[in-house]
């Protein structure tokens, strides 16, 4: 029997608290490593360094990370970098070379390849399509 005011969940539906628990790592060491990655996105961090920072072996850390986050640590770091690259491309006029250097990829061609795999288009194409999709206000440069 249901209590008065209690709502039944639809079959197959997930409430917000359950969803947050599924998305957030439950192991405190993995949570600390993820927070470290987000805080130090601009600096290159190896998987070994991450594992060492939470007092784990690289092998054990990688397996636990994948079990908790559904992707390997290197895939997760790549995803973070590519999402940040998308944000920078859309918000700034920095060159692709400058962005790749900021995100820890020294080689522009390697960065462009990674970006194309992640996004389906090169960084330059991404920026061109983004600029083409935004409506231009003819009066935005008019003097007031």
In this prediction, residues 74-102 reach a mean pLDDT of 92
Please report how many Cα atoms fall inside a 13 Å half-sphere around the Cα of residue 58, on the Cβ side.
6
Determine contact, residues 107/115, Cβ cutoff 8 Å.
no
Q: Is the pLDDT of residue 18 over 60?
A: no
Contacts of 125 (CB under 8 A, 6+ apart): none
Q: What is the CATH number of domain 44-133?
A: 1.10.10.60
Q: Report the helix count and the strand count for the chain, using DSSP H and E.
A: 8, 0
Give the pLDDT of residue 43: 84
Confidence of residue 25 (pLDDT cuts 50, 70, 90): confident
To which H or E segment does residue 95 belong? none
Q: What is the pLDDT of residue 86?
A: 93
Is pLDDT above 90 for 12? Answer: no
CA pair distance 92, 98, nearest whole angstrom: 11
The whole-number pLDDT of residue 74 equals 93
The model scores a pTM over 0.75:
no
Q: Are 37 and 77 in contact (CB under 8 A)?
A: yes
102: pLDDT strictly greater than 60: yes
């Amino acid at each position: 029997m249901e209590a008065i005011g209690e709502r039944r969940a639809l079959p197959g539906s997930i409430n917000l608290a359950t969803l947050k628990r599924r998305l957030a790592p439950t192991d405190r060491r993995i949570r600390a490593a993820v927070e470290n990655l987000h805080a130090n996105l601009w600096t290159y961090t190896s998987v070994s360094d991450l594992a060492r920072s939470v007092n784990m072996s690289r092998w054990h850390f990688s397996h636990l990370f994948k079990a908790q986050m559904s992707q390997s640590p290197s895939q997760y770091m790549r995803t973070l970098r590519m999402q940040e690259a998308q944000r920078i491309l859309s918000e700034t006029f920095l060159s692709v070379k400058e962005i790749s250097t900021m995100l820890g990829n020294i080689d522009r061609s390697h960065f462009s390849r990674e970006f194309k795999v992640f996004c389906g288009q090169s960084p330059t194409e991404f920026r061109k399509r983004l600029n083409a999709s935004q409506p231009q206000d003819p009066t935005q440069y008019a003097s007031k």
